[in-house]
Amino acid sequence: MRIAMWSGPRNLSTAMMYAFGNRADCAIWDEPFYAPYLAATGADHPMKDAIIAAHETDPTVVARRCLDTIPAQKLHFYMKHMPHHMIAGFPLDWAADCVNVHLIRHPARVIASYGVKMDHMTLEDVGYPQQAALYVRLGGVVVDSADIRADPEAMLRKLCAAIDLDFDPAMLHWPAGPRAEDGIWASHWYNAVHQSTGFAGAEGALPDLSGDAADLANAAMPFYERLAAIKITL
């Protein structure tokens, strides 16, 4: 099985990659279209030059590898993708041969967290319109990161059942520290996950946003709500 997990930034996506990567039967790939996205757009991201130098930048090559032999001869291949990386002209037909899962998170939480790392962001930077469009094109399963954090085992069991994959308890915990599969950007983005050995607990109240951040969250809400209405639940 090839799983394309679509998620915006700051959305439990790395913890989910670690959960699947802790399965003995599953290989993982960390944001394979990130370097092509940066090379094509010139977006001003932390470590941009290092990312472009260290990773494949040709989107056609990356797309072909998505359907190539699964690394380490594993049965399953979990690919962590971000919707905003799939800009116009990048191949997407490979995704039709994958089980597509859409990981969502409330915009207020995403924007509050992303703002700590990025000085400026737009609606396209956090990927909500692109994710909604990907669901229309690809279909698939929708799961909310808040539900996973509230009850990791129950929600991962539901997710595995929804994609016809046996649940593995190894998904609930992983060793602290980085993984060999991490993108080079992990040193900037993955500090909290590297200190973890499992999913964090349930989230508290929504953060209070004001000004541009609040406007951005309001603009993202219709896209989030559209997907939240069809998410899997307990």
CATH number at residue 66: 3.40.50.300
Determine, yes or no, domain membership for 201: yes
Determine, yes or no, domain membership for 233: no
Structural domain range at position 102: 2-228
Model pLDDT, residue 10: 83
Model pLDDT, residue 120: 80
Helix axes 34-41, 59-66, angle to 10 degrees: 160
Work out the average pLDDT over 44-67: 96
Determine, yes or no, domain membership for 68: yes
pTM: 0.95
- Is it the case that residue 147 has pLDDT exceeding 80? yes
CA separation, residue 2 to residues 71, 159, 211 (Å): 11, 15, 41
Determine, yes or no, domain membership for 199: yes
Work out the average pLDDT over 98-115: 92
CB contact at 8 A, 108 and 209: yes
Residue 116: how many other CB atoms lie within 10 Å: 7
Top-confidence residue, 9 or 22: 22
CB contact at 8 A, 217 and 209: yes
Q: Tell me how many domains the chain contains.
A: 1
Determine, yes or no, domain membership for 234: no
Determine, yes or no, domain membership for 97: yes
Pick from 85-94, 198-207, 216-225: least confident:
198-207
- Is it the case that residue 234 has pLDDT exceeding 90? no
Determine, yes or no, domain membership for 109: yes
CB contact at 8 A, 9 and 126: yes
Average pLDDT score over the chain: 95
